[in-house]
Chain A
Amino acid sequence: MTERVPMREVTLVLPMAPDMELVASQAASALAHFVGMPADRVDEVRMAVVEACINAFEHSHAPDRRVDITFLVWGDGEPERLEVHVHDAGVGFSPADVEDPRIENKIRDSRKRGWGLKIIQGLMDEVRIQSGTRGTTVIMSKRRGGGIRES
């Protein structure tokens, strides 16, 4: 069996500090452009990465107060798919216990937040969550998309 190697791998370590999610979004944008995604899909990756970072910042309680982000470009000859891993070394959570937010409830609820995972799942092609006592990793990916690759 041949071990697959990504065409490009970029890692970022971000402190959990205000607006650091924008640093991740800039890297996401650059890698999504490299994959050849059209502008709308690039923006969708950016927003999903912002949400994953904010979730880690807000909910992980990671003692090291950092988020590790890995961008992997996969393809056979040319870039076809961008995969993003957003990892924190926090307390973890059970994804099955996360309530699916509904606007009709949120509109009258005092707690209006809790949309991050729903947004990520809506914007990315595939999303997996690995979570346990060693922290949480959100793994999300998006294909280049239809149409001609942008130069």
Chain B
Amino acid sequence: MTEGLKLRVDRRDGLAVIYTEGYINNQGGEEIARAAYSLLDEGYRRLLLNLTGTKIINSIGISILIEIIEKMLEIDGRLAFCELTPTIEKTFHIMGLAQYASIHPDESAALALLRP
């Protein structure tokens, strides 16, 4: 019924930004995880998930994001989110994700915190 989630990765000095477009469900979450783990294999330890193109997400997709957060904690990396819709941001706060991954209104604010 829906096209799969589209991802774009932008590698910068010492950090990488993953841009999402579309619904983050279980398949979408798995795609993000694959991209994130691939970046970790390349040596990136600071990741930003820019959800500007995502207007809806479900709890299965968010559970996979929690797996990524766990992985980042294990390797002493940093994960941040930006450009969330108010509802997605509220949902992340309901779940407590903000305790483990910072949430920023826009990319420049996130990058200012993430940059090595």
Interface residues of A (CB under 8 A from B): 18-23, 25, 40, 43-44, 46-47, 50-51, 54, 101-104, 106-108, 112-113, 115-116, 118-119, 122-123
A-B contact count (CB 8 A): 78
Q: Any chain A CB within 8 A of the CB of B62?
A: yes
Q: What interface size band does chain B fall in?
A: 20 to 34
Task: Select A43's contact among B60, B69, B86, B99, beta carbons within 8 Å.
Answer: B86
Please name the residue on chain A nearest to B62 by beta carbon.
Answer: A115
Report yes or no: B58 in contact with A107, Cβ–Cβ below 8 A.
no
- Cα A102 to Cα B62 with chains together (Å): 14
Residues of the B chain whose Cβ atoms lie less than 8 Å from the Cβ of A103: 66, 95-97, 99-100
CA distance A102 to B25 in the complex (A): 21
In the bound assembly, the distance between CA atoms of A113 and B60 in angstroms comes to: 7
Interchain residue pairs A-B with the least CB separation, the first 3: A103-B96, A122-B94, A43-B87
**B100 proximity list for chain A (CB < 8 A):** 103, 107
Give residues of chain B (61-80) contacting chain A, Cβ–Cβ below 8 Å: 62-64, 66-67, 69-70, 73
Q: In the complex, what distance in Å separates the CA atom of A83 from the CA atom of B85?
A: 23
B58's partner among A21, A118, A123 (CB-CB below 8 A) is A21
Tell me the minimal C-beta distance from B24 to chain A in angstroms: 11
Chain B 7-23 interface mask (CB, 8 Å, partner A; 1/0): 00000000000000001
Contact among A21, A25, A104, A119 for B91, CB-based, below 8 A: A119
| Inter-subunit contact B1/A20 (CB<8 Å) | yes
Q: Do B95 and A115 touch (CB < 8 A)?
A: yes
Contact between A47 and B56, CB atoms less than 8 A apart: yes
